A and B are shown apart, each in its own frame.
Chain A
Amino acid sequence: MTPTLFGRIQTRLFLVATVGVLWTLLIGPALAGMMSDPDATTGDVYRLAFGALVLVAVVGIGWELIYHALQQYRWEKDWPTFFGLVTGLPEGIVVALLLGAGLPWDVGDVPLGAYTVHFATTWVLIWLVANGPMQVLFPRWRFRGGQLL
């Protein structure tokens, strides 16, 4: 992809708010059994998972500033598909640490199993949608550096 800074931020916020929210609603009930607390409800999963989505969106703006700065050292001024996938690793770790620290709200200890499955599946799904289907929904998006507005 060849994002601009605004394109990166807009695309991230859009995909988290659409694909991220829908997927989280769908997968929530299935993750209840993976929480550390055996009595955890779907509501507890949502509390954790939506907390993670909020952090991916908000902290992600900071990440995008870093990615954009790094992109300036690439001759092509592009952001390889591969980077879009592997940046999920550092981002996932940072979000887990912030959730554990009580941000954006208290979720107690982060249950690693449920968190990892939710974060990884959401990340890959968003990455897949960003690498194709977005172009069908918004035929001008790929020429505008990912800007929707």
Chain B
Amino acid sequence: MSETRRIAGAPIGAAQEAGPANQGTEGADLTQALIDRDTWTDAEVAASGIPMEDVDLVSVGGGLGSFALADTLRIAGLGTGQIRVLGDNSSPTATYEYLAANSQIPEHERLRSDAGSVMDNIWGFPSYALREAWTDKSLKAVWQVVTEPILAEYYTPRAGQVYASVRREAARIGWEDMLRLGFVRMIRKREGGGYFVVHTPQGGSGGAKRHIYRTNFAHIAVGYPGVAFLPDLQEYRERTGDYSRVVNAYEPHDHVYAETRTRPCTIVVRGSGIVASRVLQRLLDDYESGAQIRVIHLFRNYVDGPQGDDPKFKRPGRNGFAYQAFNFPKSAWGGQLRYALEELEGDARSELLDKMGGTNTAPRKSWSDQLERARKAGAYDQAVGKVVSVEAMDDGSAIRTRVATSAGDEHVIDAQFIIDATGLLARIEEHRLMADLLDHSGVGKNPKGRLDVERHFEVRGAASGPGRLYASGSMTLGGYYAGVDSFLGLQYAAQRIADNLAEQGLGKKLGTGRSVQQWVRWARNKTP
């Protein structure tokens, strides 16, 4: 762990000047002087006694964002020794799987992702549809992907297929060799260029308390800091301490479904995005197999028709939902809307993002048919309005939600559970590492309040001499690329970052020859 190598991009001789990486002392910790200073010198870090290691690139997160970048760079020619991935799970899909499972997408269900958004294959070929056809020995998936969305609904892959293929690719690229488990406490600029990444290794017993990586290039893809609640539900939870009857769809909440099997339950679902659709499907599947469930779907904004006045930019909408296949129009990932967004700054960019994105769900006939069946049977009702209050009833039998309708009436809904399906916490300052960066490194926020990055995903204001800091994933929404929080978006970001790294002197740009050669190696499951 004490290998000494030149920091990529630094002038020749810099490593000597900087002094070798050191073994440090176990138990050595950050000093207050270091914590208070924005920029650290090699001497200060050496004096702290914290073990230090030089590496070309550190990726913080260890989830799908780190995986996409590591995969791209390994294919472009970097070795496992040049990359360190710092994360808190051994599998890059762990967090995704956790959130997907909680939001009621078991492995056999399909994600909301395009056939070509192939997480384990940077080329997008062969698509999930072709592979499913191959595995199932059936042309059904091929027919669907060839005729989508004209004669068939969009093909989307099963969650289990995505996870299994990422595990295979992770093994192929040597993920375990690059990964170090633990938490990243902070990233601070280094006097003379580059960064110090302060890591708290997992395991504790026997190992060092802290470990520092000295690097010229760092990448952050830490995802969402947590789950978010609507303000009235957040207030209810804080006031009552009741965390089991008001739940977020992304938290474990199987007890809700379990209780509906033992007694009649009314459940309020808040939200009208894809997660709400999933939760409604789970509840109504249970209802249709005998559970005594009544769902009240509460909308704040009710979509009763197509959105937009421009005939060239009108999104379908009905029955409360805005519909589109993916979370943005397809061309936002690699077509004309990607170019359009790249040209915009500030509020104009924010407005286009809102127009293309916002709350929406996938148009699936099975879902709308099920809602219609349940509505006729009296198991699914919709309510629209602004929540006035959420109170636990004195006898503990229900939670009462008072809703003010636009007509000026008040509407009362008593329910055993409220499921908040409105999303995840996106305030970046809630994340410890992000908060530290905002305070100490000169980075800023974009028009959506998230981390401000360039078109090539370099974090603005974070350059340190020849050193560059990059970020990808959900924390960069509001930048020049819409689909940051998606498989394909993570791959796009990885490609832009890898190309920029090549310009900075780390690695080479992937050209046609190597691309084809590497694709063949991928197909044969050989190391890059």
Contact = CB atoms under 8 A, between A and B. Distances in A.
Interface of A: 1-4, 7, 72-73, 75-78, 80-83, 85, 132-133, 135-140, 142-145
A133 B519 CA distance: 10
B495 A4 contact: no
Contact of B149 (A1, A80, A133, A145): A80
A30 B337 CA distance: 44
A133 B331 CA distance: 20
Given A72-B312, A75-B313, A144 B334 contact: yes
Interface string B335-354: 11111000000000000000
A1 B122 CA distance: 16
A76 B125 contact: no
Contacts of B146: 81-82, 85
Contacts, number: 91
Interface stretch (B24-32, B443-451, B509-517): B509-517
B440 to A, nearest CB: 33
Most buried by A among B126, B311, B312, B336: B336
B466 to A, nearest CB: 25
Nearest to B498: A139
Most buried by A among B123, B130, B314: B123
A137 B515 contact: yes
15 contacts: A2-B334, A4-B336, A73-B312, A76-B324, A77-B329, A77-B335, A81-B148, A132-B130, A135-B116, A135-B123, A136-B125, A136-B519, A138-B512, A145-B334, A145-B339
B512 A82 contact: no
Contact of A142 (B116, B145, B314): B116
B145 A136 contact: no
B330 A76 contact: yes
A77 B145 contact: no
Nearest to A81: B146
A91 B148 CA distance: 22
B123 A76 contact: no
A2 B151 CA distance: 18
Nearest to B122: A139
Contact of B515 (A4, A82, A85, A136): A136
Contacts of A1: 335
A144 B334 CA distance: 5
Most buried by B among A137, A139, A143: A139
Nearest to A139: B515
Nearest to A85: B146
Contact of A82 (B151, B334, B510): B151
A45 B146 CA distance: 32
